[in-house]
Amino acid sequence: MTATDIYTPLSKIRPNDPCFCGSGQKFKRCHRSTTDRVVAGDLSPRREVPASIERPPWAESGGGSDRNEPDVKSADVIDRMRRTGRLAGDVLAAVGAAVAPGVTTDELDELCHRLSVEAGAYPSPLNYNGYKKSLCTSVNEVVCHGIPDSRALRDGDIVNLDVTVFREGVNGDTNATFLVGTVDPESQRLVRVTRECLSMAIDQVRPGQPISELGRVIESHAEANGFGVVQQFVGHGIGETFHTALAIPHYYEPKATRRLEPGMVFTIEPMITVGDWRARMWDDDWTAVTVDGKRTAQFEHTLLVTDDGVEILTLRSDGLWSGDGGQPTDPLAHG
């Protein structure tokens, strides 16, 4: 028996069916409102960063990254990335712990911004190619790059929080999908499988491994569970710049034959969908959503290829992943 045999998928629950949460109410009277598509809210003014904090080039220019940074990092860059990556993991855990029904995504952005600044870091997304906030908050069908605004999280939502910080001249990039209150079983399974996809891909990172193998294991596990893999967005090289030219597809791409080398640093960040894997953009040119409005989840770590395997640079200070659903521990933790 599979997970799909023991519950009715959210998309197939009829308005007068009992709600999945066990309240005894009809679905239309209880959690149906959480299945409505996400609508943009109002944006708050841009948050300021103290002048004493080191800024990346895009903080003032509003531009992007120098993609020509070497893929293999020096020992000095790696040491700095360890410290900055750990901070990113800690900030993600703290912001994730604040996820709850009624909390706005703008409030989560304020918390992320404040924690980053208090730690002496610049929130990397702020003014990157003109992005207006310090955090990406992608709710339900939003694939990635959702802009924090006045929309309050609802009981039954899922939300991805994408945190990147710039400190000591380098970036640490990580994200996780969190459950908001009582979430339907299908969405819970989506989040779990997405987490597993990242974990399985990390297990494949070692010197000599072709990049295509990372996408192969992600795609195989997602499709075996009845889910799709978004192809428009990929993992990327990272270091002193936010995004380098190094690309890590999350689907099997036979042309991705380059082999991993010790000292390489990059992200793996699969976006897994309940339905159609294709995405479309909102008019804000940032928010990507699934074309069919069905839910999607994502997890991300910044990774270092070592002489004999992999080191996760964006674990929390306690050595664990930031848990989905705001959980403090993670049975899939590496390290």
| pLDDT number for residue 314 | 98
Mean pLDDT of the chain: 91
Q: Is residue 169 part of a domain?
A: yes
Task: Give kind and range of the element (H or E) at residue 164.
Answer: strand 158-167
103 within domain boundaries: yes
Q: Give domain status of residue 93, yes or no.
A: yes
Q: How far apart are CA 5 and CA 274, in angstroms?
A: 16
The pLDDT score that the predictor gives to residue 325 is 40
Q: Mean pLDDT across the stretch 261-284?
A: 97
- 27 domain-assigned: no
Q: What pLDDT does residue 22 have?
A: 65
Specify the number of domains making up the chain.
1
Phi, psi angle pair for 157, to nearest 5°: -70, 165
The reported pLDDT for the residue numbered 323 is 63
* pLDDT for the residue 17: 74
Residue 29 lies in a domain: no
Q: Up-side HSE of residue 24: CA atoms within 13 Å toward CB?
A: 0
Asked whether residue 51 is assigned to any structural domain, the reply reads: no
194 near 177, Cβ under 8 Å?
A: yes
- Candidates 1, 111, 124; CA nearest to 55 is 124
Question: Two tokens at 254?
Answer: 């036979």
Among 305, 300, 136, 137, smallest CA distance to 218 is for: 300
172: domain range? Answer: 70-326
In this structure, are residues 211 and 257 in contact, taking their beta carbons and an 8 Å threshold? Answer: yes
CATH number at residue 274: 3.90.230.10
Whole-number Å distance between alpha carbons of 131 and 272: 24
